[in-house]
Structure 1
Amino acid sequence: MLLELSIKDFAIIEQLDVSFKQGMTVLTGETGAGKSIIIDAVGLLAGGRGSVDFVRTGTDKAVLQGVFDISEIENTKTVLTNLGIEPSDDLVITRDLFKTGRSVCRVNGTIVNLNSLKLVGQTLIDIHGQNEHQELMDSEKHLALLDQYDENAVGAIREKYQATFTEYSKLNNQLNKSRQNEHEWNQRVDMLQFQVDEIQSANLEQGEDDELEKRREQLINFQSISDALATSFQILEGDDDVSAIDQIGSVMQELQGISDYDEEYQQMSEEVQNAYYALEDVTNRVRSSIDAMEWNSAELDEVEQRLEVIRQLKKKYGNSITEIINYLQKIEIELNEMTGSGRDLNDLSEMVEQRYQEVKKLGLQLTKVRQEMAVSLEQAIREQLSGLYMEKTQFKVQFTPKKIPDHEGFDEVEFLIQPNPGEELKPLAKIASGGELSRIMLALKTIFARNEGVTSIVFDEVDTGVSGRVAQAIADKIHEISLHSQVLCISHLPQVAARADHQLHVAKKVVGGRTMTKLTILNDEGRVNEIAKMLAGVNITELSLEHARELLQTERER
């Protein structure tokens, strides 16, 4: 439920802070005082589209804030969790509307976009105005209203149907694409298969090209390498003259002989000793390299051919072996999807037909459940309408098979109405008057209030154009809804005001040449005076005060 509402620099409201309670709260006051502006503010907190016109003249921005108790509203907590916002029992929504047209929305301090705010808002607030019966007027939304009537009955079978239909649609789209573009499809498959085969047959290994380039250079320069190694070995180990390593050995012995006489001699001796052993190691490695060297004229050709294979693959599929391998993995996935793991069009067609039969079976079950729900809903609405003095009105849920089934099922659903005996049942949107739509909507709200889960339902002058016993019946229905959800209601009817649990009076005044809205929480005497004014107009008489007291007393006793 909505606990607190704060409005600053919004339209004609400079500053307004108000607390709301559970039950039915009615906002009364003269036309133009700002009652609907307050409802507009609530709607913006629920994700409604803003406008620079809402920003109070002379200010840079309007600030709206609402505090909601969501301790028992699991739908809201689920939405918050999905948005990455930690849910708590008290939910704070803030919205800033700037004169520049920018809007900033925050939920528990976290900035969210307007779509995210709508997701949260639709679990919190349901606003209905005297000219806002879109769900009833739009036959495309009647199916959703029917499902809403008994979600427990229809939810599981609908979910199973939709999952199966999604699988069927995916396969059917694949089949249609295959048939419509079979030539291009086959060409693409052939090309992908050729590329996969070409890359796979190369058996590429990471870093292979670098090793081959290195080996190629060695083979091209074989003679130079061989000559260099031989000359080096001859100098290091020599046959006739004293070798370089022998000479270094002699130096090492001489320095070792004097190393005890000075630290400098000791250091030189050690350095020459290290050089001797290093040259000895190099000599052995040169000898091994010479022994291992063998000219193979065919190897250079093999290396060149392998490098050419890799170069050609790089031209086609990537600048490196890594890129080529990544490309291979990508086209293998695409090829597998296109060929359906080896399925041809006939196999795919059989699968589509099989899945369609599953969809059809589940669709028939879904239709049966909905038809059973429709019978119950028709009876429930007739009972509610009877209490709203539309006892002779017939209400029916009409099912029409769809030409092509979709994600929602096999049937179109439309609400039909027969306001007067002897007339034909006709679409609700075509023949229902404003007053009838208001009462039908209230009937639906009375039925759905237990299941909707929203914390607050707002009625903005839905009782316009009615009076007498119908007005009293509407007041009773609105109050009945408030037993399951907090209700905020704007009304000019004394019957509705008297039926409310709480009453707020909205008035406007001019201060310093500026129009301002003031909101007052009425006590018992204030309610008597306001209801008397609603009964008698400007001139309040003792009779109207007496009538107002009688109305309030009657409602208390009820």
Structure 2
Amino acid sequence: MLQEISISNLGVITQATLPLGPGLTVVTGETGAGKTMVITALSLLLGRRADAGAVRNGAKHALAEAVVHLDPDHHVLEAASQSGAFIEPAGAHSELLLTRSLSAQGRSKATIGGRSAPVGLLGELGADLVAVHGQSDQIRLKEPAAQRDALDRFAGEGFSRTLSRYQRAYRQWREVTRQLSSLKQDSRDRMREAENLRLALAEIDALDPQPGEDEQLREAATKLGNVESLRTAAAQARGILDSEDFETPGVTTMVETARGVLAQAGADDQALQTFADRMAELGILASELSSDVAAYLADLDEEGPERLAQIEVRRAELNKLIRKYAPTIDEVLAWAESSRIRLEELGGDDTRIVELAEQSAKLHDQVVSLAADLTKSRNKAAKMLSKRVSEELTALAMPDARLIVEVQELDEPGAYGQDGISMLLAPHAGAAPRPLGKGASGGELSRVMLAIEVVLAAVDPVPTFVFDEVDQGVGGKAAVAIGERLAMLARHVQVIVVTHLPQVAAYADRHIRVIKNSDAAAQAGKGFTASDVVALDDGDRVRELARMLAGQEESDTAQAHAEELLADAQRLVDSLTKAAEGK
């Protein structure tokens, strides 16, 4: 439970610490004193949306901090530990510190157990620690989704497990159905794509291009296009290498002559013999080169113009493929390979459609079966919830009121089953039941919501309940009845209530007052208004209740009435305590 809440620079509160504990804690104060800042601080600590406008005027940032005590084996502590939080022992409990800061520019930071953490994680942990209910929740209770959520919470853990199984099957069914629909709707486009691929691959296969063929043909065409200049150059080179003219002998002849001269003198000097051997090697190289150039000339004469024409025709055919499919023949071949794979995939659509249809049918049967289980559980839970909430309404000064929870079958399964949930209220004897959103007043909605929470607390307990002026629009006996039910709820869980009703505040185990202080400058519109938060002792409680009753906290008559309220409330609390001890 919450042990303490500290608030800095939030709204009109500059610095405040709220001591909390088990049982019922009420927060009271004049209108505008800043009572709702307690709820705002809790909302921040629960990871809810932060509004920079809540930062106190002139302050750089606001801070909310809570000390939470939990059983050492509580699952929230395990989740906090996994995020790196420090958890301190506190007697028989473990202590966890939660903080949330909000800058005037709207930036928000959170820490859990002294370690920085995502605000989303703060929200996940907070959902299992505190349930906050305010006037906005009364409005939300009119919505079918909120009514369904309340019924599903009441249905218990077994129902929750079935709902999880249903939602997994439903998501799978929806995805398979989407894929199946997509395949069917796109079948014409896919047939057209397959036909285009078949034509393209037939065209490529007919030409049978080879890797690198376009580059090879380009080189060959360049060669043949310049055949005369190539022939002249080769002929000149061969003449220089192997000329038989006595006056201008060729390289081979000159090399052989040089070798003979060196060899003849080599007998007298080994170095010249070595030169002669090397000259012989040079002669062999020159002779081989001459033969290669001669062969090149012969090839030029054999290829001629006819070969060039053949090459240009082939290049034109390959260029058609390049223009259609890819920048080079190698890339055309790669595209063809991937297209063959794609064609096989397209050819398997019919088989895939049959497989998906079978899978969809099986999943649909599973969804329908699980939806039927949900409907059965909801119908059973709806009868019990209607009965228990109606009993609670009787205790809340609505003796003839009946809450009716209806479960209607929908045409198609949805994300939460195939049920529509409606809560109807018959506030008086003989009154026709009407939907909560149409027939219930604000005061009636307050009591219906409180009755539902009291009932749910028995099956889906949260350590702390916070109510923000849910007694709005209620007075007289109904206000006393609400105080009694809150006191009863506080025997099982921690309850914090922001209230303006003395009949409710009288039942508090702990009474906190928010006091507004305005200086003269503030009253003139130039200064600041601040609020203090104080825990009241018995005498202060009497004066605060007198203020709430008559606006005259020093009035003897008002104080006498306040003392009477406190005495009546104490008698009920004592009886509740004895009943609990008797069990």
Report TM bin, short chain. 0.7 to 0.9
Give the deviation of 1:522 after TM superposition: 2.6
Q: Is the 8 A contact 2:410 2:418 kept in 1?
A: yes
**Local SS of the residue matching 1:437:** helix
Which of 167, 170, 179 is the matching residue for 2:172? 167
Residue equivalent to 1:129: 134
How far did residue 508 of structure 1 move? 0.9
Which residue of 2 is the match for residue 96 of structure 1?
102
Q: What is the CA–CA distance in structure 2 between the aligned matches of 1:466 and 1:155, rounded to whole Å?
A: 35
Distance in 1 between the 2:378 and 2:282 partners?
A: 92
Shift in CA distance, 325/245, structure 1 to aligned 2, threshold 3 Å: farther
8 Å contact 1:402–1:410 — kept in the other structure? yes
Please state whether the residue corresponding to 2:392 is helix, strand or coil.
helix
Indicate the residue corresponding to 1:46 in structure 2: 46
TM-score by length of 1: 0.72
2: CA distance, partners of 1:527 / 1:257: 131
Determine if the alignment matches structure 1 residue 314 to structure 2 residue 316: no
State the partner residue of 1:365.
373
The CA distance in 2 between the partners of 1:244 and 1:312, in whole Å, is 63
Q: Which has the larger radius of gyration?
A: 2
Unmatched tracts of structure 2, length 5 or more: 88-95, 243-250, 275-279, 522-527, 578-583
Tell me the equivalent position of 2:529: 515
String of CA shifts for 1:172-214, please: whole Å, max 9, x gaps.
44555566x56xx4134421563388469969xxxx96x5465
Residue deviations 1:130-168 (CA, integer Å, cap 9, x gap)? 464134212343222211112412223323333333333
Partner Cα distance (1:278, 1:136) in 2: 106
- Match in the other structure for 1:195: 197
- Flag the 1:196–1:382 CA change in 2: closer, same or farther, 3 A: farther
Q: 2:255 aligns with which of 222, 242, 259?
A: 242
Q: 1:144 — aligned with what? A: 149
Question: CA distance change for structure 1 residues 383 and 214 in 2, over 3 Å: closer, same or farther?
Answer: same
Asked if 1:428 corresponds to 2:436, the answer is yes
* Structure 1 unaligned blocks of 5 or more: 259-268, 270-275
Selected match of 2:163 from 153, 158, 163: 158
Cα distance between partner residues in 2 of 1:122 and 1:4: 18
Match of 1:31 in 2: 31
Cα deviation, residue 62, structure 1: 4.0
Do the aligned partners of 2:50 and 2:102 also contact (CA within 8 Å) in 1? no
Which residue of the other structure, out of 415, 420, 426, is the alignment partner of 2:423?
415
1:358-402: CA deviation from partner (whole Å, max 9, x where unpaired): 433332222112112222222332333343343433222112222
Deviation digits for residues 48-79 of structure 1, max 9, x if unmatched?
4554543433x154413233538566469769
Q: Is residue 491–residue 497 contact of structure 1 (8 Å, CA) maintained in 2?
A: yes
Listed as ranges, the matches of 1:268-307 within 5 Å are: none
CA separation in 1, counterparts of 2:319 and 2:506? 93
Q: Which string of whole-angstrom CA distances, capped at 9 and with x for unpartnered residues, describes residues 404-452 of structure 1?
A: 3322222211012223333333323322333322222112111223555
2:247: which partner in 1? none
Change in Cα spacing, 1:453 to 1:544, as seen in structure 2 (3 Å) is closer
Cα gap change, 1:354 to 1:429, in 2 (>3 Å): same
Cα distance in 2 for partners of 1:358, 1:136 equals 31
Is 1:459 equivalent to 2:474 in the alignment?
no
Distance 1:350 1:526 in 2: 74
Q: Percent identity?
A: 24
Instruction: Give the superposition deviation at 1:506.
Output: 1.0
SS in 2 for 1:402: strand
- 1:176-255 pair list within 5 angstroms: 181=185, 185-192=187-194, 194-195=196-197, 198=200, 211-212=212-213, 215-216=216-217, 219-220=220-221, 240-242=253-255
Match of 2:564 in 1: 547
2-structure distance, mates of 1:64, 1:29 = 22
Shift of 1:86: 4.4
CA drift of 1:489 comes to: 0.8
Q: Quote the Cα distance in structure 2 between the aligned partners of 1:435 and 1:215.
A: 92
Change (3 A) 1:279 1:328: farther
Aligned partner of 1:273 in structure 2 is none
The change in CA–CA distance for 1:418 and 1:200 in structure 2 (over 3 A counts) is: farther
1:549 Cα deviation after fit: 6.0
Give 1:11 deviation, angstroms. Answer: 2.5
For 1:144 and 1:424, how far apart are their aligned partners in 2? Answer: 24
Q: Indicate the SS of the match to 2:147.
A: helix
> How far, CA to CA, are the matches of 1:14 and 1:318 in structure 2?
77
Partner of 2:10: 10
| Residue aligned with 1:343, SS | helix
Partner secondary structure for residue 393 of structure 2 = helix
User: Contact 1:33 / 1:506 at 8 angstroms: preserved in 2?
Assistant: yes
